[in-house]
Amino acid sequence: MKTFLKHLLALFIVVNLGSALYAQNENPSFSHTIKEELKPWTNKPFYNNPNNFQFAIVSDRTGGHRKGVFGKGVEKINLLYPEFVMSVGDLIEGYSKDNTLLDAQWKEFDSILNPLSTRFFYVAGNHDYSNEVMAKQWKERYGKDYYHFIYKDVLFLILNSNDGDGVMMSKDQIAFLKEAIAQNTGVRWTMVFTHHPMWAYGDASGFDEVEAALSNRKYTVFAGHTHRYLFDVRNDQNHYVLATTGGGSRLRGPKFGEFDHIGWVTMTDKGPKLVNLALSGIHDHNVSTMQTKEQAVSLINATDFKTLVMAKERERKAILLLNNTSDKPIHFKGQLYHHHQVQPDSSRFQLSLPPMTSSEIVIKTTPLDVSQASIWDPMELEWEMGYDNKFMEPEFSLSGTEIIELMPSQAGISMTEQDIFIQELQVALSHPYNKVSAKFTLDGTEINANTPEFPGNLTLDKTSIINVKLTDAEGFESAGFQKTYKKVKPTAATRKPRNTKKGLQYTYYEGNFDSIPDFSSLKPLKSGSVTVLDPEEIGERLDHFAIQYKGFISVPETGIYTFFLKSDDGSKLYLDGELLIDNDGSHDTATKTGMKALKKGMHPVQIDYFEDFLGEHLQLDFSGPNVEKSPAVFRH
């Protein structure tokens, strides 16, 4: 028995000695000579998992790029020694079909990138890959425009958000990505890199199919394009829209998502962790979120000062309206610069705007020299507005100089938008200022002390020219505001054509158009009829074509109708032979409106459209008596 106990004791000593030695030598890179139980360091483990790694991400360089910023970013990355560098596109200005120009831009970018001491992965942005010439250059220089790779058991998916027409992926790319995901089910994480934040573009982008394929795994998405940083959680996965590394930005600060930075990602056992190495500091991954975005928008709106200037003889009164639409208080500080012609009654201002409130700053001025009373140089107000911050948090404030012109203005006056009517029209007027009333005339005459105040609603039954001025109890007056409301006769409907069919007739043309062409000088490539406004259904190629649609629109009852013409690129709407809406030009999806009085029945309609590049969209909606905004109904 004694022998057994001796052996057990010896085993216990060996095991505990081994444990002690292991505790001291659990990291072979670390050694020390301290034998005491207490150690002058914590007992946390070394962060040295060989499977984990760190890499950098650069964001948009172009789109109004600021020279030298991206190169400075490359210099700072070299100081950090990442294992590699990712991008999210927009590396050159692009948007050209001139091979010589594109070649020069890529050579310039590669020369800026050349000092980078580690591997760089290209991602195509719309400035890099937006037409067939740019696509060809990309593939000749860098090969694949979408691809994947695995690094330390992490799958990297690199998307091209422009290889379809507009912000979308081709069917081939979607199939490739699905296969890459399906063949790599055992990876510990998946990271997705795309230029556009495609989840914000709807199902047409094809990203929803990629999301569905990723639904049973952990993944993180990185994008760029907007030049504004935003962190959001979608499908329980982190999504990041990076800001800029030299691209166009107002640089209003991290809380506004506007700063130059390098994304620094550390792959950990629990997934990737992102911090933002601003070229002027370090910001956490949640420095700009959906919540701070709302606060940033509120602060930006608050600094869009609506300034009303009123006059009385040799005096001026300026009213700055401050609006706080956020759920947090905003502070305001302001100081007027010295002025050589006028004396303000106050030059320093400080106030706090509670949530969801407005306030006014009123500045009365008189001339310093009565003989110079006709000289009213503008005043300059140096201001700062922001939220209260905790110590050492990034600033969440804006500052600037507001130029206050001392000539009477009409800022803030709003009247009923509809300016035509058939029988009667209720006209309303509003303004945001306190202790100020609106006086008006209906016959175009000037306003004086005996002019009545504008009522809550004014009923018009004939064409009227309304003049308005804002006045106060001290006799100050704003500049005059004038609007004409016309009583019109509705345009008669055309005699209903016999045997009409649903839809429109069209003629199709091709060419490099940057505005609506003169169709009479062109020869159509084809013609026919369609039941919906869908240029993609007619177009024989992705870009550079034009279509003219003709037919009739069905008006359900007599009244005033508003038409909404939405297109990418340019469009025009002719109704009853008259141009009603001009939405011409090469542009992203944009909507313009027009109003017309119409009698019940069929009215001839013509819609001219052209497609330049990147996206093709055409839509006509209308609203009117008992008709909510809805697609127009066509016949031909």
**Which amino acid, residue 550?**
K
Which residue ranges form the domains of the chain, and what is each CATH number? 53-288 (3.60.21.10), 304-404 (2.60.40.10), 414-487 (2.60.40), 504-635 (2.60.120.380)
The Cα 152–Cα 187 span in angstroms is: 9
Q: Which of 300, 219, 317 is nearest to 258 (CA)?
A: 300
pLDDT at 15: 40
pLDDT the model gives residue 373: 54
Lowest mean pLDDT among 323-332, 440-449, 470-479, 547-556: 440-449
- Range scoring the smallest mean pLDDT among 132-136, 261-265, 427-431, 446-450: 446-450
Contact 163, 131 (CB under 8 A): no
Is the CB of residue 138 less than 8 Å from the CB of residue 129? Answer: yes
DSSP string, 476-544: -B---EEEEEEE-PPBPPBPPPTT--BSEEEEEEES--SS---GGGS--SEEEEESS--HHHH-SSSSS
Task: Say what the pTM is.
Answer: 0.72
- Which residue, among 248, 268, 267, has the nearest Cα to 258 in the 3D structure? 248
237-251, 264-278, 423-437, 614-628: the lowest-pLDDT one:
614-628
Residue, of 220 and 162, whose pLDDT is higher = 220
pLDDT tens digits along 213-224: 999 999 999 999
Closest CA to 61 of 231, 257, 230, 249: 249
| Pairwise CA distance, residues 500 & 602, whole Å | 11
pLDDT tens digits, residue range 22-38?
344 457 888 888 889 88
Among 341-345, 417-421, 539-543, the range of highest mean pLDDT:
417-421
Q: Which residue has the higher pLDDT, 388 or 68?
A: 68
**pLDDT confidence band for 592 (50 / 70 / 90):** very high
Phi (first) and psi of residue 493, to 5 degrees: -75, 155
Q: Is the pLDDT of residue 586 over 80?
A: yes
Q: What is the pLDDT of residue 372?
A: 58
Amino acid at 97: K
- Burial tier of 306 (Cβ tally within 10 Å: 0-12, 13-18, 19+): middle
pLDDT in tens, 221-244: 999 999 999 999 999 999 999 999
- Peptide bond just before 621 cis, omega within 30 deg: no
pLDDT value of position 217: 95
Band (pLDDT 50/70/90 cuts) for residue 2 is very low
Residue 342, pLDDT score: 84
pLDDT score for 497: 67
Closest to 541 in 3D by CA, of 498, 510, 501:
510
Rounded average pLDDT over 338-344 = 83
Task: Collapse the DSSP code of 333 into the 3-class scheme (helix H, G, I; strand E, B; otherwise coil) and give the result.
Answer: strand
Asked whether residue 19 carries a pLDDT value surpassing 50, the answer given is: no
Residue 5's pLDDT band (boundaries 50, 70, 90)?
Answer: very low
Give tens-digit pLDDT for 33-74.
888 988 898 888 888 888 899 999 999 999 988 999 999 999
List the end-to-end C-alpha distance of the chain, in Å, as a whole number: 109
What are the backbone dihedrals phi and psi of residue 326, each rounded to the nearest 5 degrees, phi first? Answer: -95, 175
Residue 107: what are its φ and ψ, rounded to 5°? -65, -40
**pLDDT, mean over the chain:** 89
Q: Does residue 269 carry a pLDDT above 80? A: yes
Query: Is the per-residue pLDDT at 391 higher than 60?
Result: no
